[in-house]
Amino acid sequence: MWKSLLVGGLVSAAFGQGSPQVELANLREDVRGLTQRVGEMSLRLEQLERENAELRHSAGNSDRQRVTLVQVNDAIADASAKLKASIATAKTETLQVVSTQLEKLGKQTNAALDSVSKAQATRPAVQTNFSEDYAKDGVSYTVQKGDSIAVIAKKTGAKQQDIINANKISDPSRIVVGQTLFIPGGK
């Protein structure tokens, strides 16, 4: 805008309209235009300074955010280290409990084996020699629930030892339901 005024003043001076009053009026107009333009530039400068201050403030906040991120990363690393230590402690404690229980179970197993071993030692010897001295005629009998050699002998009228010898039963306590036995001289 001020350029057009300045050019207008120069043009009028160049074409002979150069009265001092016209020139003064033109110069005043040019100064007014320049003053207005300086005012506009001042406003723009203030606006740029405000934007610059906002940018600085924003940059300061991002620095604080980075500090916060660093603190968060440190806290995560701290928590991770504590978690690993806690897991290691729990693992050690669990292994100790399992070790104690295994030792206890081992002692119980050994005691049970000793008990079985003692029971076997006090048990009568298993018969391996069978006499052929029993009646060769007799009947077949199928073992039923609740039967023992003594019960079968009583039911059939046979001798227990004859049933054992005829069937070569090495452990009379181990007859099984459904098993068929020969009963010498039985009825």
CATH code at 174? 3.10.350.10
Q: Tell me if 91 is assigned to some domain.
A: no
**Of 11 and 34, more confident:** 34
88 belongs to a structural domain: no
Please state the domain count of the chain.
2
List % helix, strand, coil for the chain (3-state, nearest 5). 70, 5, 20
How would you label 45-59 residue by residue, b for 16+ Cβ within 10 Å and e otherwise?
eeeeeeeeeeeeeee
Range of the domain at 45: 2-61
pLDDT tens figures, 16-43: 556 899 999 999 999 999 999 999 999 9
Over 80: is that where the pLDDT of 11 sits?
Answer: no
Q: Read off the tokens for 4.
A: 């057009």
- Give the model's pLDDT for residue 58: 82
- Where a domain ends, among 12, 45, 61? 61
Q: Does residue 163 belong to any structural domain of this protein? A: yes
Does 109 score more than 70 pLDDT? yes
The answer to whether position 42 is within a domain reads: yes
Residue 54 is assigned to a structural domain of this protein = yes
Kindly state whether residue 131 falls inside one of the protein's structural domains: no
For the chain, give the mean pLDDT. Answer: 84
pLDDT above 60 for 130: yes
Which of 50-54, 130-134, 145-149, 160-164 has the lowest average pLDDT? Answer: 130-134
pLDDT at position 5, please?
A: 47
pTM over 0.75: no
Burial class (CB in 10 A: 0-12, 13-18, 19+), 26: buried
Region of residue 146 (phi > 0: left; psi between -120 and 50: alpha; otherwise: beta): left
Residue 133 lies in a domain: no
Last residue of a domain, one of 61, 82, 98: 61
Cβ atoms of 168 and 139 within 8 Å: the answer is: no
Residue at a domain's end among 61, 79, 109: 61
Joined together, the tokens standing for residue 28 give: 């005043």
Is residue 112 domain-resident?
Answer: no
